[in-house]
Amino acid sequence: MPSNATTKFFALSQSFSVSDIIVIGAYFLLNVAVGIWSSCRVSRNTLNGYFLAGRDMAWWPIGASLFASSEGSGLFIGLAGTGAAGGIAVAGFEWNATYVLLALAWIFVPVYVSSEIVTMPEYLGRRFGGERIRMYLSALSLMLSVFTKISTDLYSGALFVQVCLGWNLYLSTVLMLVVTALYTIAGGLAAVIYTDTLQTFIMIIGAVILTITAFNKIGGYANLEQIYLQAVPAKTIPNTTCHLPRPDAMHLFRDPVHGDLPWPGMTLGLTILATWYWCTDQVIVQRSLSAKNLSHAKGASIFASYLKMLPMIFIILPGMISRALYPDSVGCVDPEECMKVCGAEVGCSNIAFPKLVIELMPSGLRGLMIAVMMAALMSSLTSIFNSSSTLFTMDIWKKHRRGASEKELLLVGRIVTVILVVISVVWIPILQSANSGQLYVYIQSVTSYLAPPVTAIFVMAVFWKRTNEAGAFWGLMVGLAVGVTRMVLEFAFPPPRCGVFDPAPSVLRSVHYLHFAIILCALTAIVVAVVSLLTPPPTDELTCNLTWWTLKGSVDRDIPLQKVSTLSHRTEGCNSVHRGKCVHAAGFCSPRPARATPGTTHPAIISTREDPFWSRFCCVNAIILICVNIFLYAYYA
């Protein structure tokens, strides 16, 4: 560790009082206690208990877990940093989640339930037949977990500790990993969901206290815009404007062509990315599938949507306040100055949130905020680790080791966690210099290059029965080729420092990544449609219970979940299945499962049947939620 970092560490550590240490210690003890209690409620030595929490979760812990999983330390650091750099427009990323979360519970979860699946690649395997699409999506999901989730959360959590304590970035990263990896490997989805609930509560308390303190410091909300627009660093670069705050900082909708977050991209393009994340990503859907019934899954989506409205007030606005209060550090543009402040030449907006904590929070509360960031880091990483190990174990390992025992599969799932961690650490140096130091922009841009084809495939698989395996596969391949080309160009020509000539081709800078997401999704859909129409249609066995239009009724019993090869579960004309018969219940065709192999556990999936009262109750609350969301959009537009 460099000597100046050591000096800084001792200087800052002396400012941490006994009360700070007590608060942090109490948080960890409480977290461990909740983790042990929740693990004991469901057996973590079975696939059902470890990966699916026994399918007996209520709406409130699932909703809290959905929020906590999405609001990891990467988003705490990233949202505040992008808010500091560009204003409130980034709030659209949070508020847009309302509509796709409702689509998840009302449209996608019923289809997934009737499909008898646990992983998203497994759904495509059953919908289209064959294995190549399933294997591709499993590999892509694992890659996105490393590039856009695990590494960003590790980096941001380590950055927070570095700013607060002065520790070396990589030392901080290793410490984060040791705590989180052990925690995930020992627990399971039940432990993850219940500790997420605790961490959501802690995050909200800490963020409220910090926001109130920050607004008191700046003189209230009325002064924010004026002071923010005057937040110019003392050391600027001549003949440039990159040091000036954006004049449209307080507007949600920006210029459709030249805006940093153009409004067409923030509506349609963002919806495409959000549909991938909330409706087809293993991390999120796995939580909804752990609900005890469909009404609880709907309630979880509504609860999570309300929670997603909070980051605007508790993360983005404090980020802007941090820029206003500390323009020389948070708003620095000179490369030499930025290197001194945060060790990155491209900018230091990512330190906005931790800088505010160190400067404003009193003794005791500073320890609480460190606990908040640790909560955010642990909640997101444990969720990602658990879901990634589920993907690899169920969709890749089990395909090649069909006779693998539960003990072997659980061991493989834990080993995968360790491997993913190592790969993520290697990726951090590239992440550190990407996208002008705005972590959230990096996450969304990489997602926009890889996720839109997946969104197109899932939407067409659910809503268009004519979609077949050939169309889906070639749509994914064309989308991947175009998306990876753009991503390679992005890393080959990173955004230049302030005042430096940009050698990137014009197509790279003129097409915003959110606009590119629209183009890529549309291109994929066209390829899927053309190839599907030119090739034979899918058989009835590949659409029965697997599309929205083939769900003709409700199941009045629990559907047993089969965890064997996709090919052995196809229905035949919706009248019979391989090694079993098709049962008709209220017009709903559901395959009767084959007899279980002795010694194999077949967990029960949630039922699609709902109590009429709770179904109507959820619908009324969803309408109220949409009205609140539209009001917020209109007010800040």
For the stretch 457-482, pLDDT in tens is 999 999 999 999 999 999 999 999 99
Q: Is residue 549 part of a domain?
A: no
Share of the chain above pLDDT 70, in %: 75
Q: Indicate whether 557 pLDDT > 50.
A: no
Spatial CB neighbours of 435, under 8 Å, sequence gap ≥ 6: 346, 441, 442, 445, 494, 495
Place of tokens 């001194």: 340
Say how far apart CA 413 and CA 422 lie, in whole Å: 15
Query: Residue 592's pLDDT band (boundaries 50, 70, 90)?
Result: very low
With the C-alpha atoms ordered 378, 384, 388, 389, is the resulting torsion angle positive or negative? positive
Q: What is the mean pLDDT of the chain?
A: 78
Upper half-sphere CA count for residue 522 (Cβ side, 13 Å): 8
The DSSP secondary-structure symbol of 331 reads T
Inside any domain, residue 602: no
Quickly count: other Cβ atoms within 10 Å of residue 449's Cβ: 24
Is residue 311 in a domain? Answer: yes
Backbone angles phi, psi at 376, to 5 degrees: -65, -45
Tokens linked to 337: 């100055």
**How large a percentage of the chain has pLDDT more than 90?**
27
Please choose, from the candidates 173, 81, 47, 190, the residue with its C-alpha nearest in 3D space to the C-alpha of residue 439. 81
Task: Please compute, for residue 543, the number of CA atoms within 13 A of its CA located in the half-sphere on the CB side.
Answer: 18
Give the lowest-confidence range in 170-184, 517-531, 597-611. 597-611
Q: In which band, very low, low, confident or very high, does the pLDDT at 608 lie, cut at 50, 70 and 90? A: low
Between 267-276, 375-384, 407-416, the lowest mean confidence (pLDDT) is in: 375-384
Residue 598 lies in a domain: no
State residue 166's pLDDT score: 66
Residue 593 belongs to some domain of the structure: no
Q: Which two tokens stand for residue 449?
A: 């290059």
CATH number, position 150: 1.20.1730.10
pLDDT at 593 over 60: no
Q: Please, what is the end-to-end C-alpha distance for the chain in angstroms?
A: 47
Q: Provide mean pLDDT across the span 507-535.
A: 93
Answer yes or no: is 475 within a domain: yes
For residue 431 the two structure tokens come to 């992440």
pLDDT tens per residue across span 307-355: 999 999 999 999 999 999 999 888 888 888 888 887 777 778 888 888 8
Write the pLDDT tens digit of every residue in 114-170: 888 878 888 999 999 888 898 898 888 888 877 777 777 777 776 777 666 666 666
Number of structural domains (the chain) is 1
Tokens read off for 290: 């752990």
Q: Which two tokens stand for residue 318?
A: 């404090």
Rounded-to-integer distance, Cα 65 and Cα 369, Å: 19
User: Does residue 259 lie within any of the structural domains?
Assistant: yes
Task: Please tell me the distance from the alpha carbon of residue 255 to that of residue 204, in angstroms, as a whole number.
Answer: 33
Asked if pLDDT for residue 39 goes beyond 80, the answer is no
Percentages of the chain per state (helix, strand, coil), in multiples of 5: 70, 5, 25
Q: Kindly state the DSSP code that residue 261 receives in the 8-state scheme.
A: S
Under DSSP, is residue 293 helix (H, G, I), strand (E, B) or coil?
A: coil
At residue 243, what are phi and psi to the nearest 5 degrees?
Answer: -85, -10
Q: Domain limits at 460?
A: 3-543+609-636
Q: Which residues of 313-347 are buried (b: 16+ CB within 10 A; e: fewer)?
A: ebbbbbbbbbbbbbbebbbbbbbebbeebbebbbb
CA 448 to CA 440: how far, in whole Å?
12
Q: Which two tokens stand for residue 174?
A: 């290793």
Give, in order, the Cα–Cα distances in Å from 187 to each of 27, 141, 142, 286, 396.
Answer: 18, 22, 20, 16, 22
Whether 438 shows a pLDDT value over 70: the answer reads: no
78-92, 177-191, 544-558: which is most confident? 78-92
